[in-house]
Every structure is written in C-alpha cells, then in structure tokens.
Structure 1
Amino acid sequence: MASYRGAPYIAEQLQSILKELGANDEVVIVDDASPDNTIEVIRSITDPRIRLIESPQNRGYVRSFEAAVAASRGEYIFLSDQDDVWIPGRVAAMVVALESARVVASNFEMLGGGPRPWIPRLLPAWDRKPIANLLGVMIGYRAYYGCGMAFRRDMVPVFTPIPSYVHESHDLWLAICGNLSRSITHLEKSTLLRRLHDSNETPAGFRSLGRIIAARVMLARLILEARRRLKR
C-alpha cells in the first residue's frame, strides 16, 4: 500500500485487509511523507502484520508502490489503495487465480453503491486475448486498476524497477507485463469497494490532447520495455 494524506479512510481499509489475511501474512505500507496524521492513524492499529515504512520525502505514489513491492516478502503480492474496502473472499479468489497465472486483475464496485466508471468490466474471456488487451490499453478502453490486481513473486523482476519515466499508471505497466508474458487472469468477480473522492490520486476527467499523446507514447515505451525484460 502507498499512503499519502490517508487519515480519513486508511483505518477502515486496513481493517478490511487484516480480516482477509492469515497469521503469517503482512501489510507493507510506504507512506509518502504525509503532512497530515496518516502515520499516527496507522500506528494506532496495533497489529504485528503491519509494516510501516516512512519515506523521508514525497516521491509520488508510483515510487511508493515500487518501494512497498521491494520490501515485501510474500509469495503473492496484492496492490492496495489506502481508501478502498476489500470485499470478504478477495484473497482466496485471487490466490486461486495466481496458482495458474503470474498476474490477476479483478473488478470492483463503488463504495456506497452508484454507477461504476463507463469502462467495461474485465472478463475471463480476455485471458486468451493478450494482443487485444494491449491494444485496448493503448487506445484506452481496457482499464486495469492496481487496487484490484495481484501478482506472484516471480513477476517482481519484470515489474520492478518501474521505469523512471512512469509517474502514474503503474497498474497499466503491470497489465502490460502480465499480458506480454501471456500469464494473466481476469476475474469477473468484484473484490473491492472503490471510494471516489476529491483527493483520489488516480487521474480523473478529460485530459488535453497533449497529455493523451504523451501517455500513449509512454505506453508504447512500456510495451517495448516489458518485451525486453521478459526475454532476459
């Protein structure tokens, strides 16, 4: 988990995660120099499975996730936002998927109800369509959300280090790695409740043409980089 200004929501999220974990599991949190009392809220939850790493300076959520993955010790690594809520059964369903695939991506519902974003839900049929998935990522109609993704430890050398030019969309980078390795499962099941609010780190709304083009160039670079790493 990457945390930053998460004080209003992080306790609820951590409680939902801890209920899903076993005694030997861990929650690795990298706090990105939060100026509020996020650290105090995390420390108030006295569970030995929580490992808090405090970044001395703000580096952005992509570098925080990268640091958390590097510090993790488990066989299965789940990405988690600080402000969502895990649905009971999430870990079990995703671990089953990871027994036969290196990456799993799942769907979500909205916390409190309400409509999801317009982008289509992930479907199991997409497991066999890696090229179509990559094309969909490039165009923008295949949405992968890191908060609904997990991967096996053997994917860590491919996923990390995250390329230095990636300042957002680490989830699309993971999806690219999974699809190019032809080892990704798409769960139709929703595994979390996603909270939308004014402080979400995920970009929202329409972007300028310049930013859209820059993002597509970045994704093309990531596809080439993933191919290079998978050939090592």
Structure 2
Amino acid sequence: MSKVSVVMPVYNRQSMVSEAIDSILKQDYGNFEFIIVNDGSTDSTAAILANYNDPRLRVVELPVNSGVSISRNIGMNCATGDYIAVMDSDDIAFPGRLTAQVSFMEAHPDVHILGTDAVKIVAGEEGRMNHPQEDAVIKSRLLAMDGSSMIHPTTMMRTGFLRMNSIQYPLSRTDSDHGLWIEAMAAGAKFHLLKQHLLTYRRHDTNITAETNTNLRRLHSDKLQYRIKLLGLFFPDLTHAEMTAIARLMESGRSLQITDACAGIAAANKAQKYTVSRYGESREVLSNLIRHFASAGIQALSAIGQRS
C-alpha cells in the first residue's frame, strides 16, 4: 500500500495539466499513488491523461462536471495512503515536496495538516509566498479568509484523522479549503507549515478564484458564512446577529451602512473581551485582526458622516 495518496481534480486544463502531472511523477519520493479526478472535461484533458502509462497513476472519470469539492471528495474517498497530498492541476510541485512533508509528518505525529510556502506566478511575475508556521497563528488567520493562513495545494493531511472525524470538502463553489480546515480545527486538528518553498502556484484567468463578477459574488457569500462559523467557534458568547455583524464588517469592498458599521463595531468590542483560547488559536492575533476591522468600521462611519 502506498504511503501517500496525491489527489488532483482537473477540469479543462489541457494547457497546464501535463506540467502538474509530470511534477508529481518526478518526485524524489516514490511510495505514492496519484489519483486524478477528471471532472467532466470537454477539452483534450482526457486524451492527455490517457497518454500516461505509469502504475502509480489512477484516473477517475466523472461523466459530467460536478465541481471541485465533489471531485476532491471522490479522490479522497479512493485514497489508500496514510497521507493525502493536495495538488491542483495548474500548479507545479518541487521534486522534494513529498519527501519533505512525509519526513515531517512521520517525525511529528501530533500534526494533522501540513502546508508549505510556495512561489507564486501572476502574469509572468514571480514572487515568494510566505505564511505563518505556528498552529496558533494559522488557526487565527483563518478568520481573515484572505489566503494568509495556508496555501491549499501545498497541504498534506492525515487520512485517518479525516475519516475518523468524517471531514470532507463542503459543497461550496469557492473557499471549500477553508471549510475543510474549519471542520478539522473544530475536530482538534493541529496545523503546521514548513518554511520551504515546495510548489509553484500559478494564478491566471481560469482559476476558480479568478475575480470575475460571478466569482466575486460567490466569494463574498461563502466567506460570510465561513466567518460566521469561525466566529461562533472562537467567540461562543456572541449571538448570531453579532457574529453576522462582525463578518459583514470584514467584507472587503462592501459599502457599509451606518447601522451595519455600528453593529459590527459594538460586536467587535464585545468579542475582544473574550480571552480564552478554545482550539489552540492565538487570542492576540485574533484580537488584532478583529481590532483592525473595527477600525475600518470606524473609518467608514467617519466617511459617512463627512458625506452627510
């Protein structure tokens, strides 16, 4: 049985999928299976997959496009390895990625989800993505919902922990990675991040998170619900209305009404009085994050007052 199950969904990625596949097949760690879920692609992706003849590679064909969450869940359900390594069909794994992650997971059995840093390419420009290493900071940064906690396609997860707690990707169109991490945190997961750049993350027009109007609407809706859920976990004394008020305060690009801003600021002030860590999160980081958005609400109120 393979130690690692690499799970990669793919949909209409004919121009990029070969590089992603090759980067996994050329890993310097050999004890893995590579599960590719072809999510009803209508371009030449299926033909490209059929050209590979490697016993480690298994393709699951879905008859129709079902969405990335369903595809990932199907791939995870097929996994036989002790660890599930997440991979996206438009990214490129560094040759030592699996070796580094398996070595760390074997040496640290208390860690359930392990990420790494990455190199980000946008419009041909390359930059380094650096994220927090510590469990407490990662958990607190989840509330920001801005990609500052972990880089999803770099993560490796313990299969047994996920199955024992019935954790899968929620069926949201966007930010399903955050949905899984929230469920994992609530179940007692410990997170860690290797300070090594082990993936090339490519941002382009066809990313699921690309900023089209439709995707932005989905993003705002999904982020709002996930933030409300996180606020409920971190601040159990808040009412649902107070959680919603803070979550709306945190929505970027949203014009705040006076009542929304006032409600959000009041709820944020109440939240900052709660100092007990419930899931190993850093209350200092969490408080600073809440304070930042409360300040933004105050600025919005000031701007509204000046306009009136």
The bucket for the TM-score relative to the shorter chain is 0.7 to 0.9
Give the % identical residues: 24
Return the structure number with greater relative CO, CA threshold 8 A, min gap 6. Answer: 1
Q: Displacement, 1:84?
A: 1.1
Structure 2: how far apart are the matches of 1:208 and 1:56?
Answer: 28
- 2:118: which partner in 1? 108
CA 1:204–1:161: 2 relative to 1, 3 Å: same
Question: Taking structure 1 as the reference length, what is the TM-score of the superposition?
Answer: 0.81
Corresponding residue to 1:176 among 179, 182, 194: 182
> What's the counterpart of residue 260 of structure 2?
none
Distance in structure 2 (CA, Å) of the matches to 1:150 and 1:48? 22
User: Any stretches of 5+ residues in structure 2 without a counterpart?
Assistant: 1-7, 234-278, 280-308
Amino acid at match of 2:174: E
For 1:163, which of 153, 170, 180 is the aligned residue? Answer: 170
Distance 1:194 1:46, change over 3 A: same
Contact 2:204 2:210 in 1 (8 A): no
Q: 1:179-204 deviations in whole A, cap 9, x for unaligned? A: 44241111221111122222222343
Pick the aligned partner of 2:86 from 79, 90, 103: 79
- Counterparts of 1:53 and 1:223, CA distance in 2: 37
Using the TM superposition, give the Cα deviation of residue 29 of structure 1 relative to its aligned residue in structure 2, in angstroms: 0.7
SS in 1 for 2:21: helix
| Compared CA separation, residues 17 and 224, structure 1 to 2 (3 A) | farther
Please provide the CA RMSD for this pair: 2.9
Q: Say yes or no: does 1:147 pair with 2:153.
A: yes
The answer for unaligned runs of 5 or more in structure 1 is: none
Which range is displaced more, 77-86 or 170-179? 170-179
The equivalent position to 1:212 in structure 2, one of 206, 216, 220, is 220
Deviation at 1:159, TM superposition (A): 6.0
Residues in 2 aligned to 1:10 and 1:141: alpha-carbon distance in whole angstroms: 23
| 1:51 partner letter | R
Please report how far the alpha carbon of residue 161 of structure 1 lies from its aligned counterpart in structure 2 after TM superposition.
3.5
Mapped partners of 1:159, 1:191: distance in 2? 28
SS of the residue corresponding to residue 185 of structure 1 reads strand
Question: TM-score if structure 2 supplies the norm length?
Answer: 0.63
Match of 2:130 among 108, 121, 131: 121
More helix by share: 2
* Contact 1:107–1:187 under 8 Å retained in 2: yes
Between the aligned partners of 1:70 and 1:192, the Cα distance in structure 2 is 24
Q: SS state of the match for residue 12, structure 2?
A: coil
Partner of 1:96: 103
Structure 2 contact 92–199 (Cα < 8 Å) conserved: yes
Please state how far the C-alpha of 1:223 moved relative to its aligned partner: 7.6
Amino acid at match of 1:173: G
| Change in CA separation of 1:223 and 1:68 when aligned onto 2, cut-off 3 Å | farther
Distance 1:93 1:47, change over 3 A: same
Show structure 1 runs of 4+ deviating over 6 A: 222-225
Q: Report the CA distance between 1:222 and its aligned residue.
A: 6.8
Distance verdict in 2 for CA 1:208–1:63, change over 3 Å: closer
CA distance in structure 2 between the partners assigned to 1:115 and 1:195 by the alignment: 9
1:22-73 superposed Cα distances (whole Å, 9 cap, x missing partner): 5541110111100011011011111111100001111111111111111111
Aligned residue pairs: how many? 220
CA distance in 1, matches of 2:208, 2:217: 21
